[in-house]
């Protein structure tokens, strides 16, 4: 992990395979996280590294104990959070990307700022609308492939602006994947995300930044979010490519030709 900007506000630490973000006090959060998802109030956000794609694997009596604990990811992530001092209301995410590859960045203008944490893998990439399985019965690759984005801002966003922030961040992520030519795991072009992407948006506390009703791409907060996500996902892709080249087996079979990851 590279050193964050000197002006970085959000407190965090890496412990083992976990990124723990401490917001200082309970804040308004909107997320698609497996633990604490939806609208919530939380002080802590956990992004925990696990083996590749544990949730998609079939649950069987013979499943190793190391994976059987993931049958209830919310409960499992709650335990991870508690082991690091987080309370029961923590928001929890999973990633198979090495947690040390996390990208930490900041965008600011005037009194307004947005800070981001990104873990990026795209072997699980897919274009929205593609069939969820392949006709030949092949499974999705069991290697790191998800994009987790955690955005923290001092702006006090309205409920609709929080949803708008998710929209802008998703647009920014997809724009990067398209411009970088990332293919779907099926081998088809034009991936728009991965099948397991997660996003977290954290609002400012009452005594902090400005109150904002809107967050679209015609607003300053939308501009900052879009710029931050673009930089974060691009850097995450670069780190993922460097890491994947170090693996002993860098190929996996998709529907169609064989592609190298990264």
Closest CA to 78 of 59, 62, 94, 96: 94
pLDDT(58) > 50: no
Helical spans, DSSP H, in 28-72:
65-68
Higher pLDDT pick, 175 / 55: 175
Q: Does domain 11-53+69-129+142-248 have CATH number 3.30.499?
A: no
How many residues belong to the chain? 262
Residue 140 — very low, low, confident or very high, per pLDDT cuts 50/70/90? low
Q: What are phi and psi of 223, to 5 degrees?
A: -60, -45
Contact (Cβ atoms closer than 8 angstroms) between residue 194 and residue 146: yes
Lowest mean pLDDT among 63-77, 105-119, 180-194: 63-77
In angstroms, the CA 130 to CA 249 distance is 27
Question: Where exactly are the structural domains of the chain?
Answer: 11-53+69-129+142-248
Q: Residue 14 pairs with which residues in a beta bridge?
A: 19
Residue 59 — very low, low, confident or very high, per pLDDT cuts 50/70/90? very low
pLDDT of residue 60: 36
In angstroms, the CA 45 to CA 137 distance is 36
- Please, which residues have CB within 8 angstroms of residue 14's CB and are 6 or more apart in sequence? 1, 20, 99, 100, 102
In angstroms, the CA 89 to CA 5 distance is 28
Q: What's CA 207's distance to the chain center, in Å?
A: 28
pLDDT of residue 219: 98
Q: Residue 12 pairs with which residues in a beta bridge?
A: 21
Closest CA to 235 of 126, 110, 97: 97
Q: What are phi and psi of 133, to 5 degrees?
A: -135, 165
Q: What are phi and psi of 148, to 5 degrees?
A: -105, 130
Residue 6 — very low, low, confident or very high, per pLDDT cuts 50/70/90? confident
To the nearest 10 degrees (0 to 180), the angle between helices 159-179 and 220-245 is: 40
pLDDT of residue 67: 53
pLDDT(104) > 60: yes
pLDDT of residue 55: 47
pTM for the complete prediction? 0.87
How does the average pLDDT of the chain come out, rounded? 86
pLDDT mean over 211-231: 98
């Amino acid at each position: 992990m590279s050193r964050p900007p000197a002006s970085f506000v959000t407190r965090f630490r890496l412990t083992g395979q976990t990124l723990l973000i401490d917001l200082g006090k309970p804040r308004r959060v909107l997320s698609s996280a497996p633990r604490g998802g939806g609208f919530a109030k939380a002080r802590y956000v956990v992004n925990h590294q696990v083996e590749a794609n544990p949730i998609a694997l079939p649950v069987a009596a013979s499943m190793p104990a190391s994976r059987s604990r993931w049958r209830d990811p919310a409960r499992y992530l709650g335990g991870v959070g508690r082991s690091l001092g987080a309370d029961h209301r923590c928001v929890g995410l999973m990633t198979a990307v090495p947690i040390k590859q996390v990208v930490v960045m900041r965008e600011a203008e005037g009194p307004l700022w947005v800070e981001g944490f990104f873990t990026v893998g795209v072997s699980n990439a897919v274009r929205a609308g593609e069939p969820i399985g392949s006709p030949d019965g092949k499974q999705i690759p069991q290697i790191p492939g998800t994009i987790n984005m955690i955005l923290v801002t001092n702006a006090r966003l309205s409920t609709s602006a929080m949803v708008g922030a998710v929209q802008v961040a998703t647009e920014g992520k997809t724009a990067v994947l398209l411009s970088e030519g990332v293919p779907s795991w099926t081998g088809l072009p034009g991936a728009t995300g991965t099948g397991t992407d997660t996003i977290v948006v954290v609002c400012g506390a009452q005594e902090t930044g400005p109150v904002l009703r809107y967050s679209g791409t015609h607003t300053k907060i939308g501009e900052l979010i879009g710029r931050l996500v673009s930089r974060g996902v691009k850097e995450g892709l670069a780190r993922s490519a460097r890491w994947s080249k170090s693996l002993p087996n860098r190929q996996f079979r998709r529907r169609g030709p064989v592609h190298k990851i990264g």
